[in-house]
């Protein structure tokens, strides 16, 4: 045995002295590595390194599928050269979100005769250019595009319309009231609509013009999937009603997915909705794969019909609960096998208004039903329980806490919870007077007494804990331990205070008053944040409306544990009258070496030289967004940071300052860095300015939807197949 160990040690010494290069890896290993390299770098740079890599780059598995989404360094020349080199092999081309590419670059796509799937969402595309493109791509079966002002379907050639008639999948983003290319797509099986028309089109009567040509829309006879996601506004709700009116003519048979995401008031429920749901549920051999309806359209009868024929893999009943209708109760009492369920959104869906509600219409989480759900749905991957209140009255160490039930979901990857769900004790009563201080309270020195902060526990980081405090520190975050141990693969976590509203609007003026926080959330502070550091695989983290955070020292331990954090969103931590965790944030940023997206929303935030110096240690940072009422910034510090952070392509700042100062800094940054960073998006504007909504509409939708606007994103959309 000793000889074997000695031999092994000798071998390890010999290995350490032997140089191992990448050429020593097998072809299978190298191919797996090369799949993570951006397509334009792979073909234009990696293939020039050596003969072996050049041969591997010719492998069809690397050349057939080209994805340039979020490849911000890919300029026009690189993409043109890439398409020229791979034109005969590309079957799938994804250019979604490549808003910086010139419109003429799209013409190069006509080289790719074998294209089956093409995504041009966010790209500049005219009717004439689309016609030329469709004429050349005879094998195309899946298309994604934007329809903007000036689009004219009559400008498409006969060959182009024939190509549309062969499409089986269409994703269409409507920036103006229009049917787009839908009237020509008679063989569609999947239709995805993103309605982004501004309210200016309602004044111009854009939707009224569509009603005249409504009969030209096909009857969706082959449709299997229909989804529509709306931006706020009456014009988009009207546009959705026009698209759904087709269902009143003929209900498609075999529809497996119906996903309608409508913010704010929903349009009137279509007459054909009952027949449509009946058709979805009654088709022989048909199981609904995804269901999401506006809150006023869904009731127990409709949900029961769908569940009677099987459980969908995606179910979104966000804010659908109402008196006499609890979607979770209907789901659990359907008597069906719920194991197929993979993604469930119960945001704002509880058992009724909270007795001690902090805000109007806030719901109390149906905790017992959620615990039963974890037993029936062991394969859940995404779960959203935000916008409700969970108040656990029993001591955290006892059985029955929500986190203990969630810990049974071993496959869980994405989770959204209300902040108060991590509170280990009820808030301290404010009006109880200590008899020992009664005499002192009557003293003339009452005005000199320093008031204590009620209900906010003090947390000391690891380096400051003494022997006597060790047991107290272990108690902090105790309730979350079952979740950490039972869900080791959690990569996305949202902790959002119930009732939280961002100051960043969509189509409305900025919110000037912050909502009241749940009293229980004051007991969730730095200790609980430090406990979250046990999520070793966490990549996306959102923390919003945590008034119990004092100095933010828990953030430091959190990011030290979550070393692979890629996206971080912080909103309204601690006091809203001053930013009391600045120093802790500066230290925490030094550990965020993999951070790519940072969103910070905090009143009175000061974006000064010290902050940007700490942020410059995040060398992978690509997108940055600040939202701050009464916030300040130093133009020279912003410019210096942009110079040092070469990967940054998005800088959105909505703070204080004059309009002139904001526009001056925005122009300076664009003039200095646009040439070297073709994808650069810089928007700097006063948060409380009346024209902010107009400015927002001009921003790239990919940035606006993914980072600039605050929203809960867990289980918001069906999982990609």
pLDDT surpasses 50 at 473: no
pLDDT band of 273, cuts 50, 70, 90: confident
Euclidean distance between CA atoms 277 and 327, whole angstroms: 16
Looking at residue 218, what is its pLDDT?
66
597 occurs within a structural domain: yes
8 A C-beta contact, residue 473 and residue 393 = no
8 A C-beta contact, residue 459 and residue 528 = no
pLDDT (tens digit per residue) in 172-208: 999 999 999 999 999 999 999 999 998 775 555 556 5
pLDDT band of 458, cuts 50, 70, 90: low
Handedness of CA 231, 233, 238, 241 (dihedral sign): positive
Q: Give the pair of three-digit tokens for residue 644.
A: 């040092």
Range 293-299, long-range pairs (CB < 8 A, 24+ positions)? 293/258, 293/260, 293/320, 294/260, 294/262, 294/266, 294/267, 295/266, 295/319, 295/320, 295/322, 296/266, 296/269, 297/260, 297/266, 297/269, 297/273, 298/327, 299/325
Rg (the chain; Cα; Å): 28
Residues 6 or more apart from 250 whose CB is under 8 A from it? 219, 220, 221
Looking at residue 268, what is its pLDDT?
83
Distances (CA, A) of 523 to 96, 261, 426, 428, 602: 43, 34, 8, 9, 20
Query: Which burial class, exposed, middle or buried, applies to 61 when counting CB atoms under 10 A from its CB (0-12, 13-18, 19+)?
Result: exposed
Q: Which of 116, 147, 171 is the last residue of a domain?
A: 116
Euclidean distance between CA atoms 655 and 674, whole angstroms: 23
pLDDT surpasses 80 at 462: no
Phi/psi of residue 313, nearest 5 degrees: -80, -25
Looking at residue 265, what is its pLDDT?
82
Give the three-state DSSP class for 325: strand
Euclidean distance between CA atoms 387 and 420, whole angstroms: 10
Looking at the 3D structure of the chain, how many domains does it have?
2
Looking at residue 686, what is its pLDDT?
96
3-state helix/strand/coil string of 669-718: HHHHHCCCCCCCEEEEEECCCCCHHHHHHCCCHHHHHHHHCCCCCCCCCC
8 A C-beta contact, residue 186 and residue 165 = yes
pLDDT band of 468, cuts 50, 70, 90: very low
537 occurs within a structural domain: yes
Mean pLDDT lowest among 12-26, 84-98, 439-453, 615-629:
439-453
8 A C-beta contact, residue 191 and residue 218 = no
Nearest to 359 by CA among 183, 534, 186, 515: 515
Handedness of CA 455, 460, 466, 472 (dihedral sign): positive
Distances (CA, A) of 38 to 33, 34, 71: 11, 8, 7
Work out the average pLDDT over 546-569. Answer: 96
8 A C-beta contact, residue 626 and residue 602 = no
- Residue identified by tokens 């409306």 is 545
Looking at residue 99, what is its pLDDT?
95
Looking at residue 356, what is its pLDDT?
60
Q: For residue 623, give the CATH number of its domain.
A: 3.80.10.10
7 occurs within a structural domain: no
402 occurs within a structural domain: no
Euclidean distance between CA atoms 244 and 239, whole angstroms: 9
Q: Which of 89, 116, 143 is the last residue of a domain?
A: 116
Looking at residue 510, what is its pLDDT?
66
Pairing of strands 632-633, 597-601: unpaired
Per cent of the chain over pLDDT 90 is: 56
8 A C-beta contact, residue 302 and residue 327 = no
pLDDT (tens digit per residue) in 395-446: 544 467 899 999 999 999 999 999 999 998 888 765 444 444 443 344 444 4
Euclidean distance between CA atoms 266 and 295, whole angstroms: 8
Euclidean distance between CA atoms 629 and 465, whole angstroms: 36
Looking at residue 361, what is its pLDDT?
59
pLDDT (tens digit per residue) in 661-701: 999 999 999 999 999 999 999 999 999 999 998 899 889 99
Q: Give the pair of three-digit tokens for residue 366.
A: 């149906």
Euclidean distance between CA atoms 694 and 98, whole angstroms: 22
Q: What is the DSSP letter of 353?
A: B
Residues 6 or more apart from 217 whose CB is under 8 A from it? 179, 182, 183, 243, 246
Write out the residue range of the structural domain in which residue 91 sits. 26-116
202 occurs within a structural domain: no
| Residue scoring higher pLDDT (254 or 216) | 254
Tell me the average pLDDT of the chain: 85
Euclidean distance between CA atoms 144 and 608, whole angstroms: 42
pLDDT (tens digit per residue) in 92-141: 999 999 999 998 888 999 999 999 999 999 998 999 999 999 999 999 99
pLDDT band of 45, cuts 50, 70, 90: confident
pLDDT (tens digit per residue) in 349-403: 988 776 665 555 578 888 889 999 999 999 999 999 999 999 987 654 446 789 9
Nearest to 586 by CA among 613, 565, 605, 604: 613
Give the predicted TM-score (pTM) of the model. 0.89
Euclidean distance between CA atoms 665 and 639, whole angstroms: 8
pLDDT (tens digit per residue) in 57-86: 888 888 889 999 989 988 999 899 889 888
Looking at residue 43, what is its pLDDT?
78
Looking at residue 440, what is its pLDDT?
39
8 A C-beta contact, residue 721 and residue 142 = no
Euclidean distance between CA atoms 23 and 25, whole angstroms: 5
8 A C-beta contact, residue 595 and residue 568 = yes
Euclidean distance between CA atoms 358 and 387, whole angstroms: 12
What is the chain's length? Answer: 721
| Residue scoring higher pLDDT (632 or 436) | 632
8 A C-beta contact, residue 240 and residue 195 = yes
Q: At what angle do helices 582-589 and 553-561 cross, to 10 degrees?
A: 20
Nearest to 232 by CA among 709, 653, 626: 709
Q: Give the pair of three-digit tokens for residue 102.
A: 């010139």
311 occurs within a structural domain: no
Looking at residue 217, what is its pLDDT?
64
pLDDT band of 306, cuts 50, 70, 90: confident
Distances (CA, A) of 525 to 212, 401, 421, 475, 547: 58, 18, 12, 13, 8
Euclidean distance between CA atoms 104 and 129, whole angstroms: 9
461 occurs within a structural domain: yes
Give the three-state DSSP class for 75: coil
* Helix or strand run (H / E) with residue 173: strand 169-174
pLDDT band of 540, cuts 50, 70, 90: very high
Buried b (16+ CB within 10 A) or exposed e, 604-617: bbebeeebbebbbb
Looking at residue 461, what is its pLDDT?
61
Distances (CA, A) of 397 to 7, 215, 404: 51, 64, 10
Give the three-state DSSP class for 119: strand
Give the three-state DSSP class for 474: helix
Euclidean distance between CA atoms 104 and 123, whole angstroms: 11
pLDDT (tens digit per residue) in 217-230: 666 888 999 999 99
pLDDT surpasses 50 at 256: yes
98 occurs within a structural domain: yes
Q: Give the pair of three-digit tokens for residue 260.
A: 């309608």
> How many CA atoms lie less than 13 Å away from 432 in the CB half-sphere?
5
Euclidean distance between CA atoms 540 and 568, whole angstroms: 6
Nearest to 419 by CA among 512, 516, 345, 278: 516
pLDDT surpasses 50 at 32: yes
Q: Give the pair of three-digit tokens for residue 618.
A: 């995040």
Residues 6 or more apart from 486 whose CB is under 8 A from it? 406, 407, 408, 409, 410
DSSP string over 590-647: TT-TT--EEEEE-TT-EE-HHHHHHHTT-TT--EEEEE-TT-EE-HHHHHHHHHH-TT
Per cent of the chain over pLDDT 70 is: 84
């Amino acid at each position: 045995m000793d000889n074997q160990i000695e031999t092994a040690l000798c071998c390890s010494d010999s290995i350490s002295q032997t140089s191992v290069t990448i050429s020593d890896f097998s072809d299978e290993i190298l191919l797996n590595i090369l799949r993570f390299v951006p397509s334009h770098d792979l073909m234009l740079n990696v293939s020039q390194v050596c003969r072996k890599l050049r041969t591997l780059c010719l492998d069809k598995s690397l050349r057939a599928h080209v994805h340039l989404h979020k490849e911000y360094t890919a300029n026009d020349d690189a993409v043109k050269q890439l398409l020229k080199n791979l034109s005969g092999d590309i079957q799938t081309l994804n250019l979604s979100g490549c808003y910086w590419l010139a419109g003429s670059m799209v013409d190069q796509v006509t080289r790719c005769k074998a294209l089956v799937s093409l995504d041009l969402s966010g790209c500049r595309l005219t009717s004439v250019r689309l016609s030329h493109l469709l004429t050349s791509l005879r094998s195309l079966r899946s298309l994604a595009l934007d329809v903007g002002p000036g689009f004219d379907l009559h400008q498409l050639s006969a060959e182009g319309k024939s190509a549309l008639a062969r499409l089986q999948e269409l994703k269409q983003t409507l920036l103006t009231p229009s049917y787009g290319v839908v009237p020509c797509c008679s063989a569609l099986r999947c239709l995805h609509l993103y309605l982004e028309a501004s309210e200016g089109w309602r004044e111009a009567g854009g939707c009224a013009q569509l009603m005249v040509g409504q009969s030209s829309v096909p009857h969706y006879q082959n449709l299997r999937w229909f989804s529509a996601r709306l931006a706020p506004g009456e014009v988009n709700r009207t546009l959705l009603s026009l698209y759904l009116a087709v269902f009143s003519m003929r209900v498609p048979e075999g529809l497996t997915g119906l996903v309608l995401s409508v913010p704010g008031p929903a349009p009137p429920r279509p007459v054909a909705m009952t027949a449509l749901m009946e058709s979805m549920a009654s088709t022989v051999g048909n199981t609904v794969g995804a269901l999401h309806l506006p809150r006023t359209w869904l009731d127990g009868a409709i949900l029961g019909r769908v569940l009677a024929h099987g459980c969908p893999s995606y179910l979104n009943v966000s804010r659908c609960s109402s008196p006499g209708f609890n979607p979770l109760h209907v789901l659990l009492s359907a008597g069906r096998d719920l194991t197929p369920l993979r993604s469930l959104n119960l945001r704002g869906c509880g058992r009724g208004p909270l007795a001690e509600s902090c805000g109007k219409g806030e719901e109390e989480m149906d905790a017992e039903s959620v615990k039963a759900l974890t037993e029936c749905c062991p394969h859940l991957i995404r779960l959203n329980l935000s916008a409700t209140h969970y108040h656990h009255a029993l001591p955290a160490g006892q059985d029955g806490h929500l986190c203990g039930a969630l810990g049974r979901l071993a496959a869980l990857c994405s989770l959204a919870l209300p902040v108060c769900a991590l509170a280990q004790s009820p808030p301290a009563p404010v009006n109880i007077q200590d008899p020992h201080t009664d005499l002192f309270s009557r003293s003339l020195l009452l005005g000199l007494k320093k008031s204590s902060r009620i209900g906010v526990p003090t947390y000391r980081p690891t380096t400051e804990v003494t022997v006597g405090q060790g047991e107290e520190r272990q108690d902090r975050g105790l309730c979350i331990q079952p979740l950490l141990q039972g869900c080791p693969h959690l990569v996305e976590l949202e902790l959002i205070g119930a009732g939280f509203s961002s100051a960043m609007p969509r189509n409305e003026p900025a919110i000037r008053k912050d909502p009241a926080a749940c009293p229980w959330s004051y007991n969730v502070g730095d200790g609980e944040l430090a406990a979250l550091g046990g999520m070793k695989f966490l990549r996306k983290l959102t923390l919003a409306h945590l008034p119990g955070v004092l100095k933010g020292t828990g953030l430091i331990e959190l990011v030290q544990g979550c070393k692979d954090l890629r996206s971080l969103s912080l909103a309204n931590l601690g006091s809203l009258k001053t930013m009391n965790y600045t120093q802790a944030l500066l230290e925490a940023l030094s550990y965020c070496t993999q951070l790519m997206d940072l969103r910070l929303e905090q009143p009175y935030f000061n974006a000064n030289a010290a902050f940007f110096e700490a942020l410059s240690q995040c060398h992978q940072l690509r997108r940055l967004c600040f939202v701050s009422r009464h916030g300040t910034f130093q133009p020279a510090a912003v410019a210096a940071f942009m110079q040092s952070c070469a990967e940054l392509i998005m800088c959105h700042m909505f703070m204080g300052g004059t309009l002139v100062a904001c526009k001056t800094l925005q122009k300076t940054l664009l003039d200095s860095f646009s040439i070297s960073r073709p994808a650069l998006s810089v928007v700097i504007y006063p948060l409380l300015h009346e024209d902010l909504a107009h400015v927002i509409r001009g921003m790239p939708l990919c940035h606006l939807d993914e980072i600039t606007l605050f929203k809960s994103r867990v289980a918001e959309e069906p999982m990609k197949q």
